[in-house]
Amino acid sequence: MLGIDSDNGGEFINHQVYDWCLQNGIKFTRGRPYRKNDNCFVEQKNGDVVRKTIGYSRFEGQKAHEALSDVYCFLNPLLNYFYPTLRLAAKEKLPSGRYKKIYEKEAKSPYQRLLESPHVSDEYKAELRRRKESLDPVKLKKAMDEARDRLLKLSAIEGNIPSTKVS
């Protein structure tokens, strides 16, 4: 890890995190207040992944933390190994002043991008392949849905009605 680009909340900016970054030689930066585009890639994933999966509810307490951890335990391998995404390849400024976004021709998962990267060692690529072989996307999706349903039911029990439907 080379750096952390955090949000401005106290849960991100504190002495423990800052000291840990200094001890480990990790660059620590933060977004500016009221500048939501400072961490645009994180914010994009919040909307595209987090909000679509668990909704907009606020979860508090140890039970909610454990339930949310269960959701991410299954969601992360799905996202990293099996769900492809398109990457922005370029932007062209049009005569009107607007921009035209040009995306890669083929969607790839983060796993595929790592295997194609010349910056990743062959040993690490072999480990990634071994991990992928042990994963079953159908079982992961089913387990993630069940974990999400448990989380949303816990939220409903505590009086915090989620804004997504439990399927």
pLDDT in tens, 109-164: 999 999 999 999 999 999 999 999 999 999 999 999 999 999 988 876 655 544 44
148 lies in a domain? yes
Two tokens at 54?
Answer: 């668990």
Pairwise CA distance, residues 86 & 53, whole Å: 19
Residue 44 pLDDT: 62
Do 137 and 28 contact (CB within 8 A), yes or no?
no
Task: Establish if 145 belongs to a structural domain.
Answer: yes
Question: What value does the mean pLDDT of the chain take?
Answer: 83
Q: Is residue 144 situated within a structural domain? A: yes
Helix intervals (H) in 48-109: 52-54, 62-77
Q: Which domain holds residue 127?
A: 35-157
pLDDT reported for residue 129: 97
Average pLDDT of the residues in 71-76: 94
Task: Copy the structure tokens of residue 53.
Answer: 């999966």
Domain count, the chain: 1
State the average pLDDT over residues 14-41: 74
Is residue 24 a part of any domain in this protein?
Answer: no
Q: Are 111 and 84 in contact (CB under 8 A)?
A: no
Average pLDDT over residues 27-48: 65
User: Full-prediction pTM beyond 0.85?
Assistant: no
pLDDT in tens, 51-69: 788 887 777 888 888 989 9
Q: Residue 38 has what DSSP assignment?
A: G
CB 99 within 8 A of CB 92: yes
In a domain, 147, yes or no: yes
pLDDT at 78: 95
Sign of the four-CA dihedral 143, 71, 44, 47 = positive
Question: Does residue 101 belong to any structural domain of this protein?
Answer: yes
- Is 56 within the bounds of a domain? yes
Q: What is the mean pLDDT of residues 98-104?
A: 90
d(CA 57, CA 162): 5
Q: In angstroms, rounded to a whole number, what is the distance separating the alpha carbons of residues 164 and 167?
A: 9
DSSP state of 79: I
Cα 124 from chain centroid (whole Å)? 21
Give pLDDT, residue 158.
Answer: 59
